Amino acid sequence: MSATQTLLTIGGILLLTFLMLSYYRSSGTQTEISINNEAIITGTGIAQSLFDEIQGKAFDENTTTSSVSDPNDLSTSPGKDPGESLRSSFDDVDDYSTYATNDTLNKLGVFHSDIDVHYVSASDPDVNSYTRTFAKRVDITVTNNYLTDTLKLSQVISY
């Protein structure tokens, strides 16, 4: 075997090795994307369940038994009210502010959800309002080991 033939053989094997390594890398990425997609589908379902639950509650602690016509009559800051330490005792939307919960699935493990509630301007719900308004934005962030990024969903609830 001449030196040229040896070099050509080594070059061929190297090329084949690079091709295989490149394929295995892209195959790994494909698997990651697939699991991430699955985690997004599941995480979204979990967040939507929480939105459903929150939407079923009164808009504010001060609207649980009576109505309010002036935003200044609403609670000053979102959060749990006295005696509402358990989720089953939450009776209005902002009781869920700073609440966190875990849902565990067999395959993808724990989905951790953090909830935050803010007053927002009805005309610009992306921006938090420092004054009381008749609109609250509920932000839910979902994290899971298989999610490549935090899943964040928001919903505005109006009175």
Partner 1 sequence: MGSLIDILGSFAIGGMVVLMIIAFNLKMQEDSRETFSNQNVQGNTASSAEVFDYYFYKIGYKAPGEKIIYADSNSIKFAADINNDGTPDTTRFFLGPKSEMSNTENPDDMKLYRQDNSAAPVLADIVTQFNLTYYDSLNAEINYSVLGSSSERSKIRGIKINLKIESQDKSGDYFPVVEWQKLIRPKNLI
Binding site for partner 1 (CB under 8 A): 1, 9, 12-13, 16, 20, 23-24, 27, 30, 34, 37-38, 41-42, 45-46, 48-49, 52-53, 55-56, 87-88, 103, 105-108
We find the least distance from the C-beta atom of residue 38 to partner 1, in angstroms, to be 5
Nearer to partner 1, 60 or 133 (CB): 60
Nearer to partner 1, 117 or 132 (CB): 117
Burial 106-131 (b: 16+ CB within 10 A, else e): eebeebbbebbbbbbeeeebeeebee
Q: How far apart (Å, rounded) are the C-alpha atoms in residues 95 and 135? A: 15
We find the least distance from the C-beta atom of residue 96 to partner 1, in angstroms, to be 12
We find the least distance from the C-beta atom of residue 19 to partner 1, in angstroms, to be 8
Nearer to partner 1, 60 or 103 (CB): 103
We find the least distance from the C-beta atom of residue 134 to partner 1, in angstroms, to be 20
Question: Is 59 in contact with 90 (CB distance < 8 Å)?
Answer: no
We find the least distance from the C-beta atom of residue 114 to partner 1, in angstroms, to be 18
Quick one: which of 152, 116, 114 has its CA closest to 137? Answer: 116
Q: Two tokens at 143?
A: 């994290």
Nearer to partner 1, 57 or 121 (CB): 57
Q: How far apart (Å, rounded) are the C-alpha atoms in residues 142 and 44? A: 8
Instruction: Tell me which H or E stretch contains 59.
Output: none
Neighbours of 38 (CB within 10 A): 14
Nearer to partner 1, 37 or 150 (CB): 37
